[in-house]
């Protein structure tokens, strides 16, 4: 990949690591972008190209002409090797894609058909892509490999069963979120507090939506769901799914026991492969679904009550990656108790400038949609008097 063409100025607003997103500062975009890779996805509004190192480039499509979606899918198939030229544009939020496009396709040239390995890489990356792909299948017939299922630790099937049932029964509710953001500039030794954000989170099963946002006490509204500055994901449901869904090929290993918040918990380490179920991180016009490694903490009822993981192997020019810790606590609604989001800690270990970011968020005053009854965290035995 290289840059050439006219000098332009554009924002580079998004970095998303797995379920997390950062809005970077406005920066100068250099020249038009030229890239060679394999065509992987086309919708009515945008296309994506997969490069040799696994990263994916996103570009908006013109509505008419030879570069519109209809023309592309008539000429090219999934995996075709193309060279594209893209023009930087002012970020344009695409509601259907839930992201901002920062490039527009300006030129495309056919290079050749895909190799078997390239086609398999494209197919693997489509596992995390949302939406309908308009591309026809490749003319190259390459069977999908059938990886052997990793051996599971003793008793892990029961843990999977309990947490899959928990995902399906995850209630819809509202919660108040209070988050503080810090930044540590390159070379600094101390974190610098940036701001505090208060919002109401609507949890609808595994999906979550942020609303009624206030930044340092002032109301903030936008047509985009993303906040200005570093964003953190609400991955309490979406971090359980990639761990336990049957089609997600993860490796687990017993890692002993730890006492956390006065509660003895079993610990398991895990590894999720590149292009696995955790999905991609996004910086600007690029996406990369890195390998994930981490640990889960399991209570006596086989519920996961804490998840910690980091992305591994992110290309250096996309930053040093991130770590995240998610915590659930028991919350009572009348006679029913649910494990619901309690707190989130996220650290982006280094952006393109070498700066680090940190977010700590807490979730309180959970209440149900239908009844509007306020629910409170259930006390642990040590807290009861």
Note down pLDDT in tens along the chain; length 385 residues. Answer: 443 333 232 333 333 434 444 333 333 345 899 999 999 999 999 999 999 999 999 999 999 999 999 999 999 999 999 999 999 998 888 877 777 899 999 999 999 999 999 999 999 999 888 889 999 999 999 888 777 778 889 989 999 999 999 888 888 888 999 999 999 998 899 999 999 999 999 888 767 888 899 999 999 988 777 788 778 877 676 778 889 998 888 999 999 999 998 899 999 999 999 999 888 887 789 999 999 999 999 999 999 999 999 988 888 777 778 899 999 998 876 567 888 889 999 998 876 678 899 999 999 988 876 544 444 444 433 333 3
**Does residue 110 share a domain with residue 203?**
no
Q: Where are the alpha helices (DSSP H) in 208-302?
A: 241-244
Q: Is the dihedral of CA 105, 111, 117, 120 positive or negative?
A: positive
pLDDT of 328 reads: 93
CATH of the domain at 57: 2.40.50.140
Question: Does residue 1 lie in a domain region?
Answer: no
- Token match 């290993």: residue? 253
CA-atom Rg of the chain in angstroms: 22
Task: Please state, in angstroms and rounded to a whole number, the distance separating the CA atoms of residues 89 and 101.
Answer: 8
Question: Does residue 144 lie in a domain region?
Answer: no
Contact 282, 269 (CB under 8 A): no
Domain boundary among 83, 108, 128: 128
**Does residue 345 share a domain with residue 225?**
yes
**Does residue 180 share a domain with residue 84?**
no
Domain boundary among 90, 113, 128: 128
- Structural domain span for residue 82: 31-128
**Does residue 116 share a domain with residue 250?**
no
The domain total for the chain is: 2
Question: Does residue 357 lie in a domain region?
Answer: yes
User: Using a CB cutoff of 8 Å and minimum separation of 24, what contacts does 155-164 make?
Assistant: 156/252, 156/268, 158/302, 159/268, 159/298, 159/302, 159/304, 160/244, 161/302, 162/301, 162/302, 162/303, 163/240, 163/243, 163/244, 163/302, 163/303, 163/304, 164/244, 164/245
Report how far apart, in Å, the C-alpha atoms of 142 and of each of 37, 114, 139, 361 are.
18, 11, 9, 46
pLDDT of 18 reads: 41
**Does residue 198 share a domain with residue 105?**
no
Domain boundary among 110, 128, 146: 128
pLDDT of 5 reads: 38
Question: Does residue 284 lie in a domain region?
Answer: yes
For residue 178, count other CB atoms closer than 10 A to its CB.
Answer: 15
Question: Does residue 3 lie in a domain region?
Answer: no
Q: What is the pTM of this model?
A: 0.80
């Amino acid at each position: 990949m290289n840059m050439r063409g006219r000098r332009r100025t554009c924002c580079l607003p998004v970095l998303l690591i797995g379920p997390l997103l950062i809005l970077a500062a406005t920066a100068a975009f250099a020249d038009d972008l030229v890239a060679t890779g394999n065509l992987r996805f086309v919708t009515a509004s945008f296309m994506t190209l997969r490069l040799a190192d696994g990263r994916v480039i996103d570009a908006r499509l013109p509505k008419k002409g030879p570069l519109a979606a209809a023309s592309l899918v008539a000429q090219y198939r999934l995996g075709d090797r193309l060279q594209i030229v893209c023009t930087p544009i002012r970020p344009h939020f695409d509601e259907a894609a839930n992201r901002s496009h920062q490039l527009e396709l300006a030129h495309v040239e056919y290079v050749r058909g895909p190799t078997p390995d390239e086609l398999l890489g494209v197919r693997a990356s489509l596992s995390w892509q949302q939406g309908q792909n308009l591309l026809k299948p490749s003319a190259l017939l390459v069977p999908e490999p059938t990886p052997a299922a990793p051996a599971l630790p003793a008793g892990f099937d029961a843990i999977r069963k309990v947490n899959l049932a928990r995902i399906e029964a995850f209630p819809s509710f509202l919660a108040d979120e209070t988050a503080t953001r810090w930044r540590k500039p390159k070379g600094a030794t101390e974190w610098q507090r940036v701001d505090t954000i208060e919002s109401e989170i609507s949890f609808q099963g595994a999906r979550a939506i942020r609303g009624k946002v206030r930044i340092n006490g002032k109301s903030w509204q936008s047509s985009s769901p993303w906040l200005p500055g570093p964003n953190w994901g609400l991955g309490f449901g979406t971090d359980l799914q990639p761990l336990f869904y049957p089609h997600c090929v993860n490796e687990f290993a017993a890692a002993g026991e730890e006492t956390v918040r006065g509660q003895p918990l079993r610990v398991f380490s895990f590894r999720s492969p590149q292009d696995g179920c955790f999905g991609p991180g996004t910086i600007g016009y690029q996406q990369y679904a890195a390998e994930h490694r981490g640990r889960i903490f399991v209570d006596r009822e086989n519920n996961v009550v804490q998840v910690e993981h980091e992305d591994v192997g992110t290309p250096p020019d996309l930053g040093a990656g991130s770590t995240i810790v998610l915590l659930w606590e028991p919350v009572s609604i009348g006679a029913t108790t649910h494990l619901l989001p309690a707190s989130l800690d996220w650290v982006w270990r280094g952006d393109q400038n070498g700066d680090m970011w940190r977010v700590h968020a807490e979730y309180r005053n959970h209440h149900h949609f239908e009844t509007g009854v306020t629910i409170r965290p259930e006390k642990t035995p040590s807290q009861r008097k």
